[in-house]
Amino acid sequence: MRKYFITGLLILVPLAITLWVLNLIISTMDQSLLLLPPSWRPEALLGFYIPGLGTILTLLIIFLTGLAARNFIGRQIVSVWEGLLTRIPVVKSIYSSVKQVSDTLFSSSGNAFRKAVLIQYPRQGSWTIAFLTGTPGGEVKNHLQGDFISVYVPTTPNPTSGFFLMLPRADSIELDMSVDEALKYIVSMGVVAPEMAADKKIITEPAAPHN
């Protein structure tokens, strides 16, 4: 009896969580319908609500915005708009910070979250997976002697929260696995281990970090 119950859980729990996440995403994106005049909304035209129409509208807006921003006139409009936002005191700080992060994460030329590394955290002798986000800069760099890297340490099972650390590059071990594989390993709390190719070397014991 217990065996059948656990088998049912293993089948239904991932499905339920997947449907819940999809419903959350679609419900959030459907809020874009509020941008339309009340008389243009599906409830007014069809007499009932159709889930997903707002998602289609959101994706269309994103595509058209990207398409418009790729030409000369669109780039000029974006430049003027950003210049206006950066002149508003409070908005300037928020917008500039968010834009720098989004440019780093979503740009095809960015290096954020491109490598998974193994580091000792939260204490020496305990190892965890982190993602390389770059190198320290600005005023921070002036106070760090040597070759340092910046990493993001995600929490389990929710990798959207975590910790930002700066540590010597010698204290990290670059892993031969993709970011997707590393995320699956983290979210599954180590249950879903990445597959290793036959020609990959298995590291049995990570090298001790330099003091």
Q: Does the bond joining 122 to the residue before it have cis omega, within 30 degrees of 0?
A: yes
pLDDT value for 159: 78
pLDDT value for 202: 41
pLDDT value for 64: 86
pLDDT value for 204: 41
pLDDT value for 93: 80
pLDDT value for 103: 67
Rounded mean pLDDT for each run of 10 residues along the chain, 211 residues in total = 82 85 84 82 78 84 84 82 83 78 60 82 92 88 91 84 92 90 86 64 46 48
Q: What is the pLDDT of residues 160-202, one digit of tens each?
A: 788 999 999 999 999 988 888 888 888 888 887 777 654 444 4
pLDDT value for 112: 62
pLDDT value for 200: 45
Distance of CA 120 to the CA centre of its chain: 22
pLDDT value for 111: 55
Query: d(Cα 18, Cα 36) in Å, to the nearest integer?
Result: 29
Query: d(Cα 30, Cα 138) in Å, to the nearest integer?
Result: 40
Query: d(Cα 55, Cα 28) in Å, to the nearest integer?
Result: 8
Asked if 114 contacts 179 with a C-beta cutoff of 8 angstroms, the reply is yes
Asked if 192 contacts 185 with a C-beta cutoff of 8 angstroms, the reply is yes
